[in-house]
Amino acid sequence: MAVVSLPTADGGVEEYEAGEPLSFEAASDVAFPRIAYSAAHVVSDPYADVDPWLETAIDWDATIDYRRHLWSLGMGVAEAMDTAQRGMGLDWPTSLELIKQSVAAAKDFANDSNGSALVASGAGTDHITPDPSLTVDDIIAAYEEQCAAVEAAGGRIILMASRALAAAAKSPDDYAKVYGRVLAQVKEPVIIHWLGEMFDPALAGYWGNDDHLKAMDVCLDMLADNADKIDGIKISLLDDQKEITMRRRLPDGVRMYTGDDFNYPDLIAGDEQGYSDALLGIFDAIAPAASAALTAMGQGNMDRYHEILAPTVPLSRHIFKAPTRFYKTGVVFMAYLNGHQDHFTMVGGQESTRSAQHLGELFRLADKAGLLADPEEACARADIIMAAHGIGV
């Protein structure tokens, strides 16, 4: 019997008994009917003598092993994105090293499996400090530098939203100019990333307007003007109706990649007017379930698709609850519980951003979704974390 001491809402402690994990069908020869990227987390090096708030130390072997795990499930990897704590512990020099290692590992994996390991990598402006005094040319130059570095590494680009642009832009025209200049130079079509302010408060008012629907108009004009250089757009606004509205207005040939970690099953399933592909942080935490669900979709079994994903939604909504920017802590906790890393520490010390109450409820929801691969081990690991909070000792 797998039991763990977890805090209760009334300030007590319960001995929670974990259930049996679900058996998820591994990725098969049936191709996924949707493109599915998992934004992947990084594994910190707990042995490094660094000050986590100031310096970054990565366990490269464990970090790349996790990407191989995602590829083995048929997932693509969205590299060096916000799930990897970009801008919250992961700086640009370390991000570039991560991109280089991931791109190289993807090529090796493809050779090993006689398949194609999908990886696309974040390019932004996070090596310059946001400031209203920056010019449009400063921001373009920053984007150019990172885009060139990703391409030199052999990577495909996800063009990340820019804190510097949000701070310095004087009007929507500045966004059009920056994106137009950068996209004119890329070698391959990119994925645009519109990250909402719930994920990063510094991105409030992106596209030159606090109203998402008005901002959407600006973004859609930019997409139309540069459609031949754009594979798709990922929007992360946690609002399914806004995503559907935008999806129906996209230029021909431009994909919608859902970044909605609240409503992903229905958005991916789609409707009579279209569907969303996926580029999701939650796919890091629920990768086996996501792979099995997309396999079922590929087999035409939509009932099974929804049956698998439905219990993952309460877990995802909990992991991504406000303050949403701290969701990475839950993603890494899931990786720790499932044995993908030997510790629960994060770059930037971000393991401290969620309470023991939050982690305890995450454990319950993961168990109910059948996502704890080895309940005995997961309970033993959770007990260590709870004991560190003085719970169950």
Distance CA 55, CA 129 (A): 17
Contact between 119 and 106 (Cβ < 8 Å): yes
SS3 content of the chain, % helix, strand, coil (to 5): 50, 15, 40
Tokens of 101: 């290692």
pLDDT of residue 350: 97
Closest CA to 351 of 374, 369, 319, 326: 326
Environment class of residue 16 by beta-carbon count within 10 Å: exposed (0-12), middle (13-18) or buried (19+)?
middle
Residue type for position 379: C
pLDDT of residue 130: 97
Query: For residue 391, what is the DSSP state?
Result: -
β-partners of residue 258 are: 235, 278
Distance CA 33, CA 236 (A): 21
Q: Which residue has the tokens 């990922």?
A: 234
pTM for this model (two decimals) = 0.96
The model's pLDDT over 107-154, given as tens digits with 9 standing for 90+, comes to: 999 777 656 799 999 999 999 999 999 999 999 999 999 999 999 999
Domains of the chain, residue spans: 25-325
pLDDT of residue 340: 98
pLDDT of residue 114: 59
Task: Name residues of the chain where pLDDT drops below 50.
Answer: none
pLDDT of residue 9: 92
Tokens of 256: 């919608």
pLDDT of residue 1: 80
Q: Is the domain covering 25-325 a CATH 3.90.1150.10 domain?
A: no
Which is it for the CA torsion 382, 387, 389, 393, positive or negative? Answer: positive
Closest CA to 122 of 177, 61, 77, 63: 77
